[in-house]
Amino acid sequence: MSEITIKFLAEKLNLASSTVSRALNDSHEISDKTKKRVLDLAKSLNFQPNANARSLREQKSKTIGVIVPDRVNNFFNLVIEGLESVCREEGYSLIVYNSYEDVEQEKKIIYSLLGGKVDAVVISLADEEKEVQHLEWLREKNIPILFFDRVARHVSGLKYTTNDLESAYLATKHLLDKGCKKVAFLGLSNTSSVGKARQDGFIKAHIEHGLVYDKNLLIGFGHDDIENQKVLEKLFYKINRPDGVLAAAEKLGIATLRALHNLRIKIPEQVRIVSFTNMQFADLLSPALSTIAQPAFELGSTCAKELIRGLKSKNINLFEEKKIELPSKFTIRDSSK
Amino acid sequence: MSEITIKFLAEKLNLASSTVSRALNDSHEISDKTKKRVLDLAKSLNFQPNANARSLREQKSKTIGVIVPDRVNNFFNLVIEGLESVCREEGYSLIVYNSYEDVEQEKKIIYSLLGGKVDAVVISLADEEKEVQHLEWLREKNIPILFFDRVARHVSGLKYTTNDLESAYLATKHLLDKGCKKVAFLGLSNTSSVGKARQDGFIKAHIEHGLVYDKNLLIGFGHDDIENQKVLEKLFYKINRPDGVLAAAEKLGIATLRALHNLRIKIPEQVRIVSFTNMQFADLLSPALSTIAQPAFELGSTCAKELIRGLKSKNINLFEEKKIELPSKFTIRDSSK
DNA sequence: TTGTAGGCGTTATCAA
DNA sequence: TTGATAACGCCTACAA
């Protein structure tokens, strides 16, 4: 680490370190002449105030902790990009953690954040029904928590989601309108508000169509891609296989496509598909995939704006329970025509 | 931020804060009984030592700064994932910055990192030929720099790359073997060692085949996706269009696919394509895309291991010039058969 | 085995 | 307008 400190600059310039500090912070109580002397020297030495000392003194780190269940996922990446675009402007850095869809991991991460490393936490939960006690830890330490996508059900706070129920409803309605008789709903089997909402939308469309949905067609998947692939191939190998699919997660939509390819089943003639995904080349898949794309970047930037506003105003009320819902975009392509 | 500090614990337990500190750090000079008392209280209060105070005192932050030119890109994401997988184990956090392919942005980021916010920087450069002066700033402050993928040509250090020349050579040879007469090389036009190596491989294959490559077919692209799309459509609309493409970047491979689709040109009958990409569903594209996939995760994890080793040993020599090259994987699919 | 004191680099309060 | 001093919370040398 560098030996150049405010004290060092002060000695060089025959000033008190407090004067140098004020000059660097452009305080009005310092003469222009002194300011110039200080700034010139600082610049010439590439001086940058020690971040840790400042954070300690100010009791804030200008850093936001972000916790996502799956860092490589396109959706979370775009959200992070949205968060960063705003935070960067405001001089905040992001530390991103991956909980790997594991509540225990999430707990560890949060525990490690309890010592003033971050000023706030933005999180998409690994599992919403399991313990929320670690979220309370943050509360106790007065570290604001904001939720997005997979939001906490039993903890209050700012919550940013997309219109999952409605999107799933529209997609399912579309499949039924196209004549599908047996539509399968593929979801991740962790207990998540998102999965729940999408499933509710799926069911709602069936009811409106006067149909009874088959409970066996609400299928839950884990995080083992190879295992999931097997389950899907088994599902579509059956005589009375589904003739429509609503995949509530990108990886499931992709796995379905792959399964159908392997089994030489024609899309959309034999099976129609719609998948939730933020992939940028759904139109180039074989066949072009009908998608529901979440407004990921906007979710991140909207959340960050509110967060920074709250952090600046120090008005705790700004972090009170509030639900913000942004609309996803449903695009019909060849896979469900 | 929390009011619970070591001093607070000490008062509660009628101990000196130094004793508590030592107990928390499991020092051998503290009795088991005292340790237990301290640990129990700490745990019950969810005590976590203040990270900023500790960093200030220790002169290290246990945080690594990562700078990539394009955060949403699959390749960089996987590298970051690889970095994190190792860093997490070792108790290091990652702060990731996006330079948006812009050297000025990169400079700003690095300047902001000069104050002890991070213990080291891992970077893939925005542009390798432009100024490297900001890299020297890090040197001066004794902050180690490690490079990956787009490595600095005129700055020494640890450099992690993939066998770009060879991969491009193999892919080009494959296209020529398949009978392509006019292969285009699509690269990003920033001056990058990566782009250069891939182009060299492309040229080498032509020479070996006894062919003269057309300089007009070495095409450089910027970062405006819409503009790139136009350029490609113009290129393939021509009568004497290329009959083969080596795309040196994922976005260019995708844009080519899209252009050919729009023009109703058949792949591989009329044009064959191979693209560099780390996309996970290249096999599901229309047609399945031949790819060169870089070992992104391994690049990250290998780099992180060496970094941590260096940081621990405090042996500066460990960060001296060394080039590590990992092999990419070339997979032939329908798009070039 | 435990306690005392000082300093990491910064900023804010008070005094000059 | 500038200077001296204390404090943020932690760790470590030295003392007991």
Query: A76 and A144 share a domain?
Result: yes
Query: B157 and B301 share a domain?
Result: yes
Q: Calculate mean pLDDT across residues B187-206.
A: 91
**Nearest alpha-carbon partner for A208 in A173, A171, A166, A245:** A173
The set of strand C positions with any atom below 7 Å of a protein CB reads: 1-5, 7-13
Residue range B86-145, pLDDT digits in tens: 999 999 999 999 999 999 999 999 999 999 999 999 999 998 777 789 999 999 999 999
Query: B155 and B261 share a domain?
Result: no
Burial readout B83-115 (b: 16 or more C-beta within 10 A, e: otherwise): bbebbbeeebbbbbbbbbbbbebbbebbebbbb
Please tell me which of the candidates B2, B59, B111 has its beta carbon nearest to residue A1. B59
> Mind listing the pLDDT tens digit of every residue in chain A (337 residues)?
468 999 999 999 999 999 999 999 999 999 999 999 999 999 999 999 999 999 999 999 999 999 999 998 999 999 999 999 999 999 999 999 999 999 999 999 999 999 999 999 999 999 877 778 999 999 999 999 999 999 988 888 999 999 999 999 999 999 999 999 999 999 997 778 899 999 999 999 999 999 988 899 999 999 899 999 999 999 999 989 999 999 999 999 999 999 999 999 999 999 999 999 999 999 999 999 999 999 999 999 999 999 999 999 877 677 888 999 999 999 999 999 9
Query: B142 and B73 share a domain?
Result: yes
Q: Which residues on chain B are in Cβ contact (under 8 Å) with A56? A: 50, 52-53, 56
Query: A152 and A178 share a domain?
Result: no
Asked if the peptide bond before residue A242 counts as cis, ω within 30 degrees of 0, the response is no
For residue A335, tell me if it sits in a domain: no
Range of the domain at A150: 58-162+296-326
Interface of A with B in 169-208 (CB under 8 A): none
Chain A nearest CA to B161, separation (Å): 21
Q: What is the CATH number of the domain that holds A239?
A: 3.40.50.2300
Bridge-based pairing state of the strands A329-331 and A290-293: antiparallel
Please tell me which of the candidates B60, B63, B284 has its beta carbon nearest to residue A286. B284
What's the CA gap between A159 and A147, in Å, rounded? 5
Query: A218 and A279 share a domain?
Result: yes
What's the CA gap between B97 and B106, in Å, rounded? 9
CB contact under 8 A, B48 and A287: no
Residues recorded for chain B: 337
Q: Which residues on chain A are in Cβ contact (under 8 Å) with B51? A: 61, 115-117
Please tell me which of the candidates A2, A113, A254 has its beta carbon nearest to residue B284. A254
Instruction: Strands of A204-288 (E only): list them.
Output: 218-221, 244-247, 272-276
CB of B146 closer than 8 Å to CB of B94 = no
CB contact under 8 A, B115 and A49: yes
A43 touches strand D (CB under 7 A): no
What's the CA gap between A214 and A177, in Å, rounded? 17
pLDDT of residue A150: 93
For residue B220, tell me if it sits in a domain: yes
Query: A27 and A85 share a domain?
Result: no
The set of strand D positions with any atom below 7 Å of a protein CB reads: 1-13
Residue type, B98: N
CB contact under 8 A, B48 and A111: yes
**Nearest alpha-carbon partner for B95 in B117, B64, B60, B121:** B64
For residue B335, tell me if it sits in a domain: no
CB contact under 8 A, A94 and B98: no
CB of A189 closer than 8 Å to CB of A220 = yes
Neighbours of A38 (CB within 10 A): 24
pLDDT of residue B1: 47
For residue A92, tell me if it sits in a domain: yes
Predicted confidence band of residue B2 (pLDDT cuts 50, 70, 90): low
Please tell me which of the candidates A49, A55, A283 has its beta carbon nearest to residue B52. A55
Into how many domains does chain A fold? 3
What's the CA gap between B247 and B219, in Å, rounded? 10
pLDDT of residue A319: 85
B52 touches strand C (CB under 7 A): no
Q: Is the minimum CB–CB distance between B261 and chain A shorter than 8 Å?
A: yes
Q: What is the CATH number of the domain that holds A40?
A: 1.10.260.40
Q: What is the DSSP letter of A170?
A: H
Structure tokens at A311: 């952090």
Q: Which residues on chain A are in Cβ contact (under 8 Å) with B257? A: 281, 284
CB contact under 8 A, B284 and A77: no
Q: Is the minimum CB–CB distance between B17 and chain A shorter than 8 Å?
A: no
What's the CA gap between B217 and B215, in Å, rounded? 5
B25 touches strand C (CB under 7 A): no
For residue B21, tell me if it sits in a domain: yes
B51 touches strand D (CB under 7 A): no
For residue A331, tell me if it sits in a domain: no
Residue type, A274: V
Q: Is the minimum CB–CB distance between A262 and chain B shorter than 8 Å?
A: no
Query: A204 and A308 share a domain?
Result: no
Residue range B3-37, pLDDT digits in tens: 899 999 999 999 999 999 999 999 999 999 999 99
Query: B37 and B71 share a domain?
Result: no
Could you identify the residue written with the tokens 């398949």? B178
Closest residue on chain A to B55 (Cα): A52
Q: Is the minimum CB–CB distance between A115 and chain B shorter than 8 Å?
A: yes
CB of A103 closer than 8 Å to CB of A130 = yes
For residue B336, tell me if it sits in a domain: no
CB of A157 closer than 8 Å to CB of A321 = yes
Please tell me which of the candidates B1, B81, B285 has its beta carbon nearest to residue A286. B285
Closest residue on chain A to B280 (Cα): A254
Query: A26 and A137 share a domain?
Result: no
Q: What percent of chain B has pLDDT over 90?
A: 87
Give me the helix-helix angle, B164-177 and B193-208, nearest 10°: 40
What's the CA gap between A60 and A118, in Å, rounded? 7
Q: Which residues on chain B are in Cβ contact (under 8 Å) with A2? A: 114-116, 140-142
Query: A134 and A180 share a domain?
Result: no
Residue range B239-250, pLDDT digits in tens: 899 999 999 999
Q: Is the minimum CB–CB distance between B70 and chain A shorter than 8 Å?
A: no
Q: Is the minimum CB–CB distance between B229 and chain A shorter than 8 Å?
A: no
pLDDT of residue A2: 60
Please tell me which of the candidates B51, B96, B97 has its beta carbon nearest to residue A115. B51
Q: How far is the CA of B95 from the C1' of D6 (A)?
A: 33
Chain B nearest CA to A208, separation (Å): 34
Chain B nearest CA to A51, separation (Å): 5
Closest residue on chain B to A65 (Cα): B95
Query: B53 and B195 share a domain?
Result: no
For residue B334, tell me if it sits in a domain: no
